[in-house]
Structure 1
Amino acid sequence: MAILKVNIVTPDGIVYNHQSKMVVAKTLDGEVGILPQHAPIIVPLSIDEVRIKRVDSENHEDAIAVNGGVMEVRDNVCTIIADSAERERDIDLDRAERAKSRAEKRIQEAHEKEDRDAVQRATVALNKAINRISVSKHRR
């Protein structure tokens, strides 16, 4: 049985390094599933979770909050390079909820000032916080 090696790397180092049966990620064009022997690709990723079905157990699936980045698949190696990424077990839920509240407040203030750039930046921060909250709920 062929396996897929999965590496997720940020500027802080390796966040994830395991063997997998399948990786599911959301690209800018939609969701993509990667199996062993997949054709080589390089795709930009959206702010969303990456789901990884591990080889060690039929039901073992890891969820990683990835805040954009790029995924390259080649020679049964799936490498994700992202500005930030967190495993579900490493997410501080209280911190993520505070970040969500701050981003919502910043969006409201930016709308009042009619500052489109600030709205856009705060919306990205909100999406990151929501992603982290969502992924943290996968904890066992």
Structure 2
Amino acid sequence: MAEMTVQIVTPDGIKYDHRAKYILAGTKDGEIGILPGHVNIIAALEVHEMKIRRIDDDNHVDWVAVNGGIIEVKNDHVTIVADSAERERDIDVSRAERAKLRAERELEEAQQAADNIDQVRRAQVALQRAINRINVGSK
């Protein structure tokens, strides 16, 4: 059976290290599906839920909330380097929901001020990350 090694690395260390037969990731250019034997690539990642189908069982899927970064595919070794990443089992959904509410408030305040585009962008990213964590944590 063809397989790949998948590692997700953050500043806190390795967050994921398993063998897989399929990966779905969200890049800046859209979603990309990766199978063993995929051409070597490097791509920028979006804040997105990553789907990893493990080799041990067709129904075994790991979901990981990845907050941007890069993906490198080279000779059936997939490395994701991200600022942060969390597996579905590690996400506290109620905490993520509180972060979403906080980000929505901050976004509304920043849009009303209308003079600080950076503040609006930071609030948008925080909201996007919170929604991503909720989606993955609710799988």
TM-score, reference length from structure 1: 0.97
- 2: CA distance between counterparts of 1:58 and 1:103? 37
Match of 1:34 in 2: 34
Percent of aligned positions that are identical: 56
Taking the aligned partners of 2:136 and 2:2, their CA distance within structure 1 comes to 28
Q: Which residue of structure 2 lines up, in the alignment, with residue 94 of structure 1? A: 94
Show CA shifts across 1:29-49 (max 9, x none). 100000001110000000011
SS at match of 1:32: strand
Counterpart mapping for 1:1-140 below 5 A: 1-114=1-114, 115-138=116-139
Q: Secondary structure at the match of 2:6?
A: strand
Question: Following TM superposition, by how much is the alpha carbon of 1:117 offset from its aligned partner in structure 2, in angstroms?
Answer: 1.3
Q: Tell me, what secondary structure is at the counterpart of 1:83? A: coil
Q: Give distance in 1, aligned partners of 2:100 and 2:58.
A: 34
SS of 2:101's partner is: helix
Gapped regions of structure 2 (runs ≥ 5): none
What root-mean-square deviation, in Å, do the aligned CA atoms of Structure 1 and Structure 2 show?
A: 0.6
Task: Structure 1: give runs of 5+ residues left out of the alignment.
Answer: none
| Runs of 4+ off more than 3 Å | none
Q: May I ask how many residue pairs the two structures share in their alignment?
A: 138
